[in-house]
Structure 1
Amino acid sequence: MEIVNFESARATKEVNINVDLVIVGGGLAGTCGAISAARQGLQVVLVQDRPVLGGNASSEVRLWSLGATSHMGNNNRWAREGGVIGEIMEENLYRNREGNPIFFDHILLDKVQAEENITLLLNTAAFAVDKAGETITEVSAFNAQNSTAYKLKGKYFMDASGDGIVSFLAGAAFRMGAERVEAFGEKMAPDVEKYGELLGHTIYFYTKDTGRPTKYVAPAHALKDITKLPKFAKIRPEHTGCNYWWIEYGGRLDTIHQTEEIKYELWRVVYGIWDYIKNSGKFPEAENLTLEWVGTVPGKRESRRFEGLTMLKQQDIIEQRTHTDAVAFGGWALDLHPADGVYSPLSSCSQWHGKGVYQIPLSISISKDVNNLFFGGRIVSASHVAFGSTRVMATCAVQAEAVGVAAAYCIKHNLYPAKAIKGKAIQSIQETLLAQNAYIPGLKLESAQDLTQQGNISVSSAWEMRALPAGAGKLVLNMPTAQIIPYTLGDSVSFSLPVEASEDTELLVRLRASKVETNFTPEGEMESKTIKLKKGRQEIEVKFETKIPATAYYFISFERNPAVSLIESDLRVSGILSVFRKQNIEVSNYGAQEPTEDIGVDAFEFWTPERRPKGKNIAMTFENALPVGRVEQLKNGINRPVLGTNAWIADPTEEEPTLTVSWNQAVTFQHIDLVFDADFDHPMESSQFGHPEQVVPFCVEAFKVYDDQENLLFEKSDNRNSWNHIVLAAPVRTSAIRVVCKRKDPNFPVSLFDIRCS
């Protein structure tokens, strides 16, 4: 028998960890920030108070991760996030195209555990902060699972905890609630009496078909009469998970300290909704359904927002203002919700879109009053209105990835973060981010270490767009339809295309453009043509007199006419896309954005693509070939379509296109970077959404790299990544490298955005 002395002093086990960067919060922001910093050589501890990574995207909450693409429901073309979150989403597509959130947990875990410089502490909650003056020295945390207390010392700290526990305890200035219109001149600032000040929490549920009738007896706490909910008519038995994002509550309460009360109310609503579905008699199709899962952790939307060196506002987003310290981007709508949530008679959300993506500056991620503190994720320095856009997870992820790189720069140069937003510091941070396939609107990679810039690039073929050849498919003009084409300054727009008319009719064809050349919102009509059609199939010619005024994408649009069918092309090419003036009401896209009052947002039309396998290009033949796939684009430092395709595109008939970089004299390098096309227009939602492929078909599936003596330097036979960062076993000295690519499908020609040697 063990004799226990109850009078002896006791303490939990204590572990001291001293690192370069302490990150508190293991949602997508903290996870991507940790990976980013670790790859820059920092020793990182990542502290997460839950048993899994991912935060709201994890299997505990099960919200799909999304950002600037907005379910492909806005005008932000090729706007999916790159960098670390891009890698994660590409891997999730390959391993989890059906969108199982449990699999997503382990993809995140694999990514973190692959980084030797990260110490991961799950189930560990931060609860105290020590400071020396205005500098954090230590964070205390506790893990109840292993009964261990941690003392976490670091040079720098990133708070990505959602509620900002570290920043709060460190004394950083913060805001909670909505600013009035007088504060920043934001015309979307809500009427706090009617609309409230905070977005609430949500709990989701999943259902399962058991194959036989199932009984449901509601728990005592379930809401008894669900028809008292203003939105009860939206209830559908076929809906599950994120379809019920509008089950929201808590915006009138303290969304931090009253989270448990909010959770219980959300449970009442969820189980009441299921009682209504199963037992009201209105949904006989639900007879075999059962509740498979109900969340136990509410997904939080809003609590504290901390004040940084600058603050992002509505005008920054809508006007797409530029920032010298830009390090990331956003593009989700200004998306606010009534504080009463599911109990509000108002619309469940108020989403107002911008015409394109916007820059996110590093300065909103740096505390204005704590020297060594960065913010990550939804707590960054933004007004309540701007927060409506910056809060979504993929946007949080790219912002936090930038913080990881900034922290590494500060460590290397012994700087406080406030010194990293100007001059050579911010230029170096931006260059590092761009080099790892992140995207910063308006910036291009200019790396002195890239030997490819000094070399000559030749290719076995380069595609000139003479035609999008006709296939067998027909596209009835049930809605306005357009083909987006990149033209160069001074080009003429002249083409022919096959059409089929069910009767004698007319077809209105327009040439349209965006006022801001990097946007994809066709605001201005440059010219139009009305063409008479005879019944049957025919080839028509369209010749616009207008010369192209600037290098950019232009819309060749066809007005709605159900009597006319366009012919589809089976050829799909990087940076070439068809779009449609259609609705996506899930993101408040009703075909056009038409504010009825002056709320500081613009009126415009939505032109959005169809998801594959739909959304084929429109067959047409161009009078003058368009050099959209020229090899020179490999040196322009832009790794996605913006003003043009920005890619080398091989001839579609070539099965193994080859690219060669040669130098006048031998050079030495150990790193090769290849950036393929993983279709930045496809949203790749992390869960619930299914996707048409495991690997994006634009992405080269296999490639080999040889030196000037035909020695094989590297090969990959199962590529699914847009960015391939190749580290050779030893430095190589050669006067040339040759890259041989294998295409996946003859309808998807090989394309490459960038090649770098360093």
Structure 2
Amino acid sequence: MIKEDFQQEKRNLKCEKSEVDLVIIGGGMAGTCCAITAARQGLEVVLVQDRPVLGGNGSSEIRLWILGATSHMGNNNRWAREGGVIDEILVENLYRNPEGNPLILDTILIEKVSMEPNIRLLLNTALYDIEKGASDEIREAYAFCSQNSTRYRLQAPLFVDASGDGIMAFLAGAAFRIGAESADEFDEKFAPDHKSYGELLGHSLYFYSKDTGKPVRFVAPSYANRDLPNLPRFKSFNLKDHGCRLWWVEYGGRKDTIHESETIKWELWRVIYGIWDYLKNSGKYPDMATHTLEWVGTIPGKRESRRFEGDYMLSQKDLVDQRQFPDAVSFGGWALDLHPADGVYGELPGCTQWHTKGVYQIPLRTMYSRNIKNLFITGRIISSTHVAFGSTRVMATCAHNAQAVAMAAVICREKNLLPAALTHSGHMSELQKRLIKSGQYIPGVPLEDKEELAKNAKISVSSTMTLEGLPGDGPWKKLSFATAQMLPLTAGEMPGLTFQVRVEKASQLKVALLKSKQKGNFTPELVLEEKVFELTLGEQSLYIDFEYTIKETEYYFVAFYPNEQVQLRYSEQRMTGLLTVFQKYNKAVATSSRQEAPDDIGMDSFDFWLPERRPEGQNLSFKLHQPLKMYAKENLFNGIFRPYHTSNAWAAALNDSEPYIELKWGKVQNINEINLFFDTDFDHALESTLMGHPESEIPFCVKHFKVLDDRGNCLTEVHDNHQTRYRLKFVKPLSTQSIKIILQHPAASVPAALFGILCY
């Protein structure tokens, strides 16, 4: 029993003090991935999250799917899913949760953090104050947990603000912006009109419903908005939509999106209950009689508030021109996606999206405050203009940036540096190297590491897949859309190809060879050659010889123009780095198969060429008259662990019953760890929530493999791998002259493939 008498002085709350290497404020996807990355590199981390779960907008509290550069596979950014920890989380979510249940994602995030002994996680804990050691330096942070009535004093040499609103950076006095810049400040032609369009994106609140199979009464709360049927956007409401497909239920862009957030939430509640009242009680939707509300969000998903100024501000031209930065540490690729400030109460479309032709680099200089010398900024508050923010704000991009921040903090601690010092070339190359080793992807920056051992070994393989074509064991599909087989071709004469066609009525068929203007992009805008063929009735082989000389290695598109009288044969065989794409569009992110940008907004016009999702997504059946050597063993050591200019993978022949790779050195090597990089199809957008997936494992990924030393001892055998990166860490250094990696084909029609091997 505890009993205390009256005290004249006020009581003090329990207070705990922590001194760590890194304090991270905010446990959204950015803060979570930042904490995991830093902790795995040995930093002692405190992660402060003011909610009961991790994940922010991706959590079960808000239930927005996690997306980034892949953009629902609705753009031309091939193999653009983010790498590192965010990839690990999304692939794990696919494995455990292909149905897209947000509660399961919650468990995965909590598990990932709780498994790291270097992370102290403070849930339900909000930062409320900071102390400075100097005018430009944070000394400690103060937070309070409402659930255990405990105050925390958090001291560290480095801090990360991943809080969304930038509460720490704000309290510290860092320079920030709210709203949209004028068009002339950064020469941004897409800058919105402040009066008619508005300067801020609003909040959204989602709801779920379900059919109970029996009549369900709904009595609307008194605060429900019953005037919604008169709103323009409600007239196109799809009864099958729920959850974050209702992203357009948005409000608040004309308000203070920080201090009036609760007011905005109440208005969104009014909208949602008004929508449901109309669906249930207007008499116009009899199919909804048996439906009930299953869940309504209690906190809104916030899109925009403060953006803090770093040593560089990312702007529209950086994204559109795909500018290269010496301090590139991450990338983006979501559309420049702005929303009208009036949201659901306005006449304008719910969003205005303009895509770039490819992904763009993001520099480290956008990820720390230019005023507070020991403060990193990450998530949606990085240093960018309002227009560029329209792309960088999405969760997978924010998480990818945060991993770079974490690794930057690791180097700062090791070398006793402050964030800005990392932009010096020597430190930057070290940061980029460590990021790529850990699975991070930086477009155009391969891994260059003198300490890596595998590249110095003599390599032998059991076999190498040579692409001679793909068998015609798949369906016939009508040529309703322009269709292109992507092929990574090397310098020399363009090989001839034979395709299988079925013709319903004699007609002409136009075929072209296309490529991108910029190497590394996958927007086929240059027509290199065109041919027209006279086709007769029936099934036949079509031989195509473009008589074109390939100048350098990159992806080319053999494109068939639409013809409703023609069908093409497809193949069931799936191959790493091969895709068939279609001149179509995804309604989730575009309104036409061609982006026609007005001349006055500074965006490009181009065609969309999109793959189909599995279980569709087959390649065309074809025969190459000069086989492609696109899976050479040397690809394992080129420092790029996904398709880019070529497949960047080694693949074994399908008839190889025991595929293996063997590395031999001339003398004994002491190896501390081995890293293997598998193919989890970086082209597939792994939306985390609501939108289910047809599979729980990526079909290209090798599940079963083992690693042997020079005496044939099995160092590890894995039977159920589904992750991109496998790291074998030894307690004591392994002394060996060779390493042998034996793999199994993922399926009878999918060859075993590997992007890279790293040994240290």
Q: TM-score range by the shorter chain?
A: over 0.9
Q: Please state how far the C-alpha of 1:226 moved relative to its aligned partner.
A: 1.2
2:651, 2:355 → 1: CA distance?
32
Q: Secondary structure at the match of 2:548?
A: strand
Contact 1:653–1:746, Cα closer than 8 Å, also in 2: no
**CA distance in 1: counterparts of 2:494 and 2:295, whole angstroms:** 58
The 5-angstrom pairing of residues 479-494 of structure 1 reads 479-494=481-496
Hey, what does 1:335 align to over in structure 2?
A: 337
Residue pair 1:668, 1:733 contacting (<8 A) in 2 also = yes
1:9 CA displacement: 3.3
Q: Which amino acid aligns with 1:32?
A: C
Q: Which residue number corresponds to residue 105 of structure 1? A: 106
* Partner residue, 2:560: 558
Match of 2:649 among 647, 651, 655: 647
Name which of structure 1's ranges 344-353 and 657-666 shifts more when overlaid on structure 2.
657-666
Give the Cα separation in 2 of the matches to 1:748 and 1:223: 54
Supply the distance in 1 between the matched residues of 2:143 and 2:657 (Cα, whole angstroms).
56
* 8 A Cα contact 1:74 1:589, kept in partner: no
Kindly indicate whether the alpha-carbon contact (under 8 Å) linking 1:704 and 1:739 is maintained by their aligned counterparts in 2: yes
Corresponding residue SS for 1:640: coil
1:264 paired residue number: 266
Q: Name the residue aligned to 2:26.
A: 25
**CA distance in structure 2 between the partners assigned to 1:142 and 1:650 by the alignment:** 56
Distance 2:519 2:473 in 1: 31
Alignment of 1:176-191 (within 5 A): 176-191=178-193
> Counterparts in 2 of 1:117-266, with a 5 A limit?
117-133=118-134, 134-266=136-268
Amino acid corresponding to residue 15 of structure 1 in structure 2: E
> Which amino acid counterpart does residue 703 of structure 1 have in structure 2?
F
Task: Describe how 1:367-516 pairs up with structure 2 within 5 A.
Answer: 367-516=369-518
Pick the aligned partner of 2:598 from 577, 585, 596. 596
**Residue 693 (structure 1) shift:** 1.1
The secondary structure found in structure 2 opposite 1:231 is helix
2:97 aligns with: 96
Q: Secondary structure at the match of 2:349?
A: coil
Sequence identity percentage: 52
Matched, 1:12 2:13: yes
Task: Measure, in 2, the Cα distance between the counterparts of 1:396 and 1:225.
Answer: 37
Q: For 1:151, what is the secondary structure of its paired residue? A: strand
* SS state at 1:328 partner: strand
Contact 2:576–2:647 at 8 Å: present in 1 too?
A: yes
Q: Deviations over 1:649-673 (max 9, x none)?
A: 1112224311111112221102000
SS in structure 2 at match of 1:586: coil
CA–CA distance in 2 between the matches of 1:244 and 1:494? 48
Q: How do 1:646-725 and structure 2 match up within 5 A?
A: 646-725=648-727
3-state SS, counterpart of residue 506 of structure 1? strand
- Following superposition, the deviation at residue 416 of structure 1 comes to 1.0
Query: Who is 2:73 aligned against?
Result: 72
Q: Contact conserved, 1:174 with 1:307, CA < 8 A, in 2?
A: yes
Q: Write the letter of the residue equivalent to 1:388.
A: G
C-alpha contact (below 8 Å) 2:369/2:376 kept by paired residues? yes
Which residue is equivalent to 1:546? 548
Q: Which amino acid aligns with 1:724?
A: Y
Distance in 2 (alpha carbons) for counterparts of 1:201 and 1:412: 40
For 1:569, the aligned partner's letter is: S
TM-superposed deviation, 1:447: 1.4
Letter matched to residue 714 of structure 2: L
Are 2:512 and 1:519 equivalent residues in the alignment?
no
Residue type at the aligned position of 1:384: H
Partner of 1:528: 530
- 1:424: how far off? 1.2
Query: For residues 240 and 170 of structure 2, what CA distance do their matches in structure 1 show?
Result: 42
Q: Which amino acid letter does the alignment assign opposite residue 72 of structure 1? A: M
Task: Give the secondary structure class of the aligned counterpart of 1:663.
Answer: strand
- Counterpart Cα distance in 2 of 1:132 and 1:272: 51
443-452 or 279-288, larger mean C-alpha shift: 279-288
Compute the TM-score of the two structures, normalised by the length of structure 2: 0.99
**Cα separation, 2, equivalents of 1:592 and 1:282:** 36
8 Å CA contact retained: 1:73, 1:589: no
Work out the CA distance in 1 between the residues paired with 2:428 and 2:197. 39
C-alpha separation between the residues in 2 aligned to 1:209 and 1:435?
48
Alignment match, 1:611: 613
CA contact (8 A) 2:462 2:658 kept: no
Asked if residue 365 in structure 1 is aligned to residue 367 in structure 2, the reply is: yes
Greater Cα offset, 17-26 or 738-747: 738-747
How far apart in 2 are the matches of 1:71 and 1:38? 31
Q: Secondary structure of the residue that 1:691 maps to in structure 2? A: coil
SS at 2:311's partner residue?
Answer: coil
Residue deviations 1:616-654 (CA, integer Å, cap 9, x gap): 000000110000111111110000000000000111222
Report deviation, 1:596: 2.6
- Structure 1 residue 8 displacement after superposition: 4.2
SS in structure 1 at match of 2:185: helix
Q: Distance in 1 between matches of 2:53 and 2:722?
A: 25
Give the Cα–Cα distance (whole angstroms) in 2 for the partners of residues 179 and 442 of structure 1: 30
Gaps spanning 5+ residues in structure 2: where? none
In structure 1, C-alpha distance between the alignment counterparts of 2:80 and 2:510, rounded to whole Å: 30
Letter in 1 for 2:592: Y
One-letter amino acid matched to 1:482: A
Q: Please give the secondary structure, in 2, of the residue aligned with 1:622.
A: strand
CA distance in 2, matches of 1:129, 1:488: 57
Q: Is the 8 A contact 1:180 1:189 kept in 2?
A: yes
Letter in 2 for 1:121: L
Q: Provide the C-alpha distance between the structure 1 equivalents of 2:4 and 2:438, rounded to a whole number of angstroms.
A: 59
Q: Which residue of 1 aligns with 2:50?
A: 49
Alignment partners' CA distance in 1, 2:497 and 2:414 = 56
Say whether the 8 Å CA contact 2:493–2:547 is kept in structure 1.
no
Any idea what SS the aligned residue of 2:430 has? helix
Contact residue 705 and residue 742 of structure 2 kept, 8 A:
yes
> Secondary structure at the residue paired with 1:253?
coil
Q: Give the C-alpha shift of residue 39 in structure 1.
A: 1.2
Shift of 1:744: 2.1
Letter in 2 for 1:25: G
SS in structure 1 at match of 2:441: coil
CA distance in 2, matches of 1:350, 1:296: 27
Deviation at 1:292, TM superposition (A): 0.2
Quote how far apart the aligned CAs of 1:228 are: 2.1
Residue 326 in structure 1 maps to residue 317 in structure 2: no
The alpha carbon displacement at 1:344 in A equals 1.1
Deviates more, 1:646-655 or 1:202-211: 646-655
Query: For 1:609, what is the secondary structure of its paired residue?
Result: coil
- Cα distance in 2, alignment partners of residues 52 and 248 from structure 1: 23
Within 1, Cα distance between the matches of 2:213 and 2:249?
28
CA RMSD in angstroms comes to 1.0
TM-score (norm 1): 0.99
User: In the alignment, is the contact (CA less than 8 A) between 1:124 and 1:144 conserved in 2?
Assistant: yes
Q: In structure 1, what is the Cα distance between the partners aligned to 2:695 and 2:658?
A: 22
Displacement of 1:209 in angstroms is 1.3
Shift of 1:589: 4.5
Shift of 1:692: 1.4
Distance 1:125 1:533, change over 3 A: same
Mapping of 1:570-589 within 5 angstroms? 570-589=572-591
Between 222-231 and 319-328, report the one with greater CA deviation. Answer: 222-231
Report the Cα offset of residue 472 of structure 1: 3.7
Alignment match of 1:288 (pick from 283, 287, 290): 290
Counterpart CA distance in 2 for 1:730 and 1:342 is 61
Alignment of 1:293-308 (within 5 A): 293-308=295-310
